[in-house]
């Protein structure tokens, strides 16, 4: 049923903060290195890869040795500014180990909402892909806030990854999290929770089954992932939600193996 994933070419991968930061708050360097290895190998196979990466605040917290996510917006933005620079330095180091050039792309909601700037974003991403460069995309947390008449914030990087998939007309969005897929209930609270293999329609019942918020280092929860999947399904496209520890699971997903939850549009 998933054999079509073997032939996809343009792939957006979203990595969550929980896959980049250990539970103790330290940076997961091994996980980042594995991610760089996997994505570079896919590039070597001729596939076009875009990475949407969370983690700016989480990495900033580690860098500044802050144990709890700050509540004040100016402090969050300051921590994100420190963390984004550190995160890109780590990414650049790890990807260059495998001779893969990367580029940083920071977006805010208003950029993709206005036609001219939206076109500019698409052109930039398309040019980077044509040059064989792997874009690493994140929300510009230092300026992304909601104002009364000017919305700059996406909400979280789950939604951002779905929007990026729309912009570049990706064949599949692979969303890596700290959970094996979408369950009927929270599997950490109910061992009898059932993992959904395939979801074709997201209704209120499924949204009600989604629960909880993200880790103390990130913002995403299962509801945000379902809403991202809604956006993908509306485009008659595909999303796979899987556990990103380790990132090599991407190979299994693209081999058509039954891992994670497949959100499949009608025209697949």
pLDDT at 268: 43
State pLDDT tens for residues 182-233.
998 888 788 888 899 999 998 888 888 776 554 443 444 788 899 999 999 9
pLDDT at residue 154 in the model: 56
Q: Does the pLDDT of residue 145 top 70, yes or no?
A: no
Other Cβ atoms less than 10 A from the Cβ of 190: the count is 11
What is the model's pLDDT at position 146? 52
For residue 81, what is the enclosing H or E element?
Answer: helix 73-97
Q: What is the CATH number of the domain that holds 52?
A: 3.40.1160.10
Record the pTM: 0.90
Task: Determine what percent of the chain is predicted with pLDDT higher than 90.
Answer: 63
User: Could you check whether the bond before residue 246 is cis, i.e. omega within 30 degrees of 0?
Assistant: yes
Can you give the pLDDT at residue 148?
A: 34
pLDDT at residue 110, as a whole number: 79
What is the DSSP annotation of 90-157? HHHHHHHHTT--EEEEEE-HHHHHSHHHHHHHHHHHHHHHHTT-EEEEEE-TTT--EETTEE---SSH
pLDDT at 28: 93
Instruction: Find tokens 């890869």 and name the residue.
Output: 49
Give residue-wise pLDDT tens across range 237-261.
Answer: 999 999 998 899 999 999 999 999 9
The total number of structural domains in the chain stands at 1
Annotated binding site: 14, 54, 141, 157, 177-178, 219-225
Question: Could you tell me the residue range of the domain that residue 194 belongs to?
Answer: 3-264
Residue list for the binding site for ATP: 14, 177-178, 219-225
Q: Residue 12, SS3? A: strand
Residue 106 in this model has a pLDDT that exceeds 90 = yes
User: What's the confidence (pLDDT) of residue 220?
Assistant: 47
Number of H helices, E strands in the chain: 10, 10
Which residues are annotated binding-site positions for substrate?
54, 141, 157
pLDDT per position as a tens digit, 31-71? 999 999 999 999 999 999 999 999 999 999 999 999 888 88
Query: What average pLDDT does the structure give for the chain?
Result: 88
């Amino acid at each position: 049923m998933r054999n079509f994933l073997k032939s996809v070419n343009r792939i957006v991968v979203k990595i969550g903060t929980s896959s980049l930061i250990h539970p103790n708050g330290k940076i997961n360097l091994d996980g980042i290195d594995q991610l760089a290895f996997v994505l570079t190998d896919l590039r070597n196979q001729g596939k076009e890869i875009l990475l949407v990466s969370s983690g700016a605040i989480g990495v900033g917290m580690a860098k500044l040795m802050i144990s709890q996510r700050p509540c004040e917006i100016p402090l969050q933005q300051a921590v994100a500014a420190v963390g984004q620079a550190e995160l890109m330095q780590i990414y650049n180091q790890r990807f260059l180990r495998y001779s893969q050039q990367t580029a940083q792309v920071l977006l805010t909601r208003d950029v993709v909402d206005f036609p001219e700037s939206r076109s500019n974003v698409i052109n930039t991403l398309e040019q980077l892909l044509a040059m064989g460069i792997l874009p690493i995309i994140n929300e510009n947390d230092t300026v992304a806030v909601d104002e009364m008449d000017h919305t700059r914030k996406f909400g979280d990087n789950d939604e951002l990854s779905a929007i990026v998939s729309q912009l570049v007309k990706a064949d599949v969005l692979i969303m890596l999290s700290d959970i094996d897929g979408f369950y009927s209930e929270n599997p950490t609270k109910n061992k009898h929770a059932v993992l959904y293999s395939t979801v074709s329609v997201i209704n209120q019942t499924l949204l009600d089954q989604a629960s909880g918020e993200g880790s103390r280092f990130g913002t995403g929860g299962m509801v945000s992932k379902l809403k991202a999947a809604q956006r993908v399904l509306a485009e008659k496209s595909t999303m796979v939600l899987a556990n990103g520890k380790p990132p090599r699971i991407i190979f299994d997903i693209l081999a058509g193996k039954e891992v994670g939850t497949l959100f499949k549009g009608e025209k697949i």
